[in-house]
Structure 1
Amino acid sequence: MDDRPKIPSLSPYATFSREEWAALRADTPMTLDDADLARLASMNDPIDMSEVEQIYLPIARLLAFYVAARQQLFRATQRFLGHKETRVPFVIAVAGSVAVGKSTTARVLRALLARWPAMPKVDLVTTDGFLLPNAVLEREGLMSRKGFPESYDVQALLRFVNDIKAGEPRVSAPVYSHLVYDVLPNERMTIEKPDIVILEGLNVLQTGEKPANGRVAPFVSDFIDFGIFLDADEPQLHRWYVERFMRLRETAFRDPQSYFSKYAQVSEEEAYRTARKLWTEINLPNLRENIRPTRPRADLILRKGASHRIEEVRLRKI
């Protein structure tokens, strides 16, 4: 029998229950109402005022401290150099699986941060715009790998985040349409002198493979100041994905311009089979191979329960 004392397992994260995290809101004011939440929530991703109060307001308070600390460091660097430099935006990443609720989280955070007393300029960019056009994916045989790292124009995405962190006053990004399931060739969104940029996408915390020539290559995650990862168990993600697909079948898929309009015409049973197949053959492998392995790079992990409520919060220790 081993009588040696047990060594407690160590973790780089401090873990909080929902109640413990909610207490960290302190006096952070609520600046959203029910109408705001209805506008910000994504399909099949319910969110109510209690979720904002207990989860998102403490996050906003934490980010306020991080941004203030970064600004102090910027001013200290200016004093050291003896001249003024352009202040660069604070970049927040929101990562996680398909159907986990990244878009809702990113939009709610943007709304809260933009309503700080200082009224910072907050821009939200999704990495969907940096997907390769469908024509290129078809030519390269990558349509069934859409959303995997190789389906993105990584160099364009790197140039974008590099220009943001270099303090370029005007930076543009491509625009993606979920209706036509493709990048819009003649549309760009322009970002001008933001204080904060929220970058939302499947693989924004990814590092990738080391180049064969051994040279050090930058990754998007190198430009992130604070990373958030939304987490949930695979069966829940599977269910949420199928439920969303079936709801879209009754709504957006009925638009004749929709890339998925054919699924509005098939039987409910066939639609279910298609949704389950898309999850099992594309989204689940991407989650296991590429998305979940980036979770340890996050500064904050938000773990969801079966009802989409965030039940546990993990904050990286400093």
Structure 2
Amino acid sequence: MTRNNFAPYITISREEWAKRSDDPMLHLLNDIDTLQGINEPLTKEEITQIYVPLSRLLNLYVSGAQRLHAATNSFLGSRITKVPYIIGIAGSVAVGKSTTARVLQRLLSTWPNHPKVDLVTTDGFLYPNKILEQRGIMNRKGFPESYDIRRLIQFLASVKSGAERVSAPVYSHLEYDILPDQLQWIESPDIVIVEGVNVLQVRPRQQQKEPTIFVSDFFDFSIFVDAELQDLQQWYIARFKSLRNTAFQNPDSYFHRYAHLSDAESEAVAANIWNEINRPNLELNILPTRFRASLILEKGDHHFVQSLKLRKI
């Protein structure tokens, strides 16, 4: 463990972090295959050494928030509506945010003091393709301007106010668009995990004509999943090739036109998409938010976490 009295983070090696594990939780994870993403290896060792300790730390933070809530009720002599603890997860396309979110949802739901854990992805708050096309930004999907930030903030404000039932729009990766007739309902959860590439992003002040509210203002804890640029590109290309052989084969897939590409053609197309869209978004909008996170998970080229940076309290 590296301690620098003048740095905002404590750097912790994988080996040191793993000492905080809790083996009894492992029997709850007998379906790892349902939690991992495409081309994102997930092993019992990764869960044991990285995610179980993280769930223990988050349990301590959530428990502290619950005690503070009870103390406030006692002080005021009244019953204040319980509000969920909100965890944000950010990082590049193909870094493994969704896997991290699903594993944490499963682990956190096993703790008796916060069994109801909901997961929301910000994909649902993208503008519909029709609007993106009208604005000429279809090729900037995933950039900050492609999201309905006002609706996302309204959603988070309702959740954080303790509203009993709040809806979120649903996104289809098959159709590559918002599903207009579907909603995800969030009903009095203990914890809400919000996952998306730009959840820690802030907009330039000069664009604001009113007081600025950021998505991250609603987070109690935030995680940034990090990796080297060259690894991210390789993972993206590998995922594209896997999707070519699976989801893209569906005639209803937006990307069905890529289903019959050769390996070489797939690599060329994926590399072009990466360099034209995903890498610029990463460098301009996502990476600059890394040090706004409470915790940074630093992955090696094997896709497993090799070290962590935990913000000092």
Matches within 5 A, 1:54-93: 54-93=49-88
Unaligned runs of 5+ residues in structure 2 are: none
Residues 213 and 114 (structure 1 numbering): CA distance in 2 closer, same or farther, change over 3 Å?
closer
TM-score, normalised via structure 1 length? 0.94
Q: Decide which of 144, 158, 178 is 2:139's aligned counterpart.
A: 144
Partner of 1:95: 90
Partners of 2:208 and 2:148 in 1: how far apart?
A: 21
Partner of 2:232: 237
Deviation at 1:10, TM superposition (A): 3.0
1:198-226: CA deviation from partner (whole Å, max 9, x where unpaired): 00000111121215466421111000000
Q: Decide which of 16, 24, 28 is 1:20's aligned counterpart.
A: 16
Runs of 4+ in 1 over 6 A off after TM superposition: none
Partners of 1:173 and 1:40 in 2: how far apart?
A: 22
Q: Does 1:200 align with 2:195?
A: yes
Partner of 1:216: 211
Letter in 1 for 2:148: D
Partner of 1:179: 174
Partners of 2:63 and 2:113 within 8 A in 1: no
Partner of 2:250: 255
Partners of 1:211 and 1:217 within 8 A in 2: no
Q: Does 1:280 align with 2:275?
A: yes
Partner of 1:315: 310
Partners of 2:207 and 2:193 in 1: how far apart?
A: 32
1:253-274: CA deviation from partner (whole Å, max 9, x where unpaired): 0000000000012333222111
Letter in 1 for 2:125: F
Partner of 1:11: 7
Letter in 1 for 2:69: F
Partners of 1:28 and 1:58 within 8 A in 2: no
Partners of 2:151 and 2:308 in 1: how far apart?
A: 33
Partners of 1:158 and 1:219 within 8 A in 2: yes
Residues 171 and 141 (structure 1 numbering): CA distance in 2 closer, same or farther, change over 3 Å?
same
Partners of 1:125 and 1:40 in 2: how far apart?
A: 15
Partners of 1:126 and 1:99 in 2: how far apart?
A: 14
Name the SS of the counterpart of 1:25 in structure 2.
coil
Partners of 2:258 and 2:207 in 1: how far apart?
A: 42
CA RMSD of aligned residues (A): 1.4
> Identical aligned pairs, as a percentage?
54
Partners of 1:266 and 1:52 in 2: how far apart?
A: 35
Partners of 1:195 and 1:13 in 2: how far apart?
A: 27
Deviation at 1:116, TM superposition (A): 1.3
Letter in 2 for 1:29: M
Partners of 1:28 and 1:61 within 8 A in 2: no
TM-score, normalised via structure 2 length? 0.96
Partners of 2:288 and 2:44 in 1: how far apart?
A: 31
Q: Decide which of 28, 33, 40 is 1:32's aligned counterpart.
A: 28
Partner of 2:122: 127
Q: Decide which of 154, 160, 164 is 1:159's aligned counterpart.
A: 154
Q: Does 1:268 align with 2:239?
A: no
Q: Tell me which structure has the larger Cα radius of gyration.
A: 1
Name the SS of the counterpart of 1:54 in structure 2.
helix
Letter in 1 for 2:61: Y
Partners of 1:306 and 1:211 in 2: how far apart?
A: 38
Unaligned runs of 5+ residues in structure 1 are: 1-7
State the number of aligned residues: 310
Letter in 1 for 2:185: T
Partners of 2:195 and 2:56 in 1: how far apart?
A: 20
Of residues 119-128 and 25-34 in structure 1, the stretch that sits farther from structure 2 once superposed is: 25-34
Name the SS of the counterpart of 2:98 in structure 1.
helix
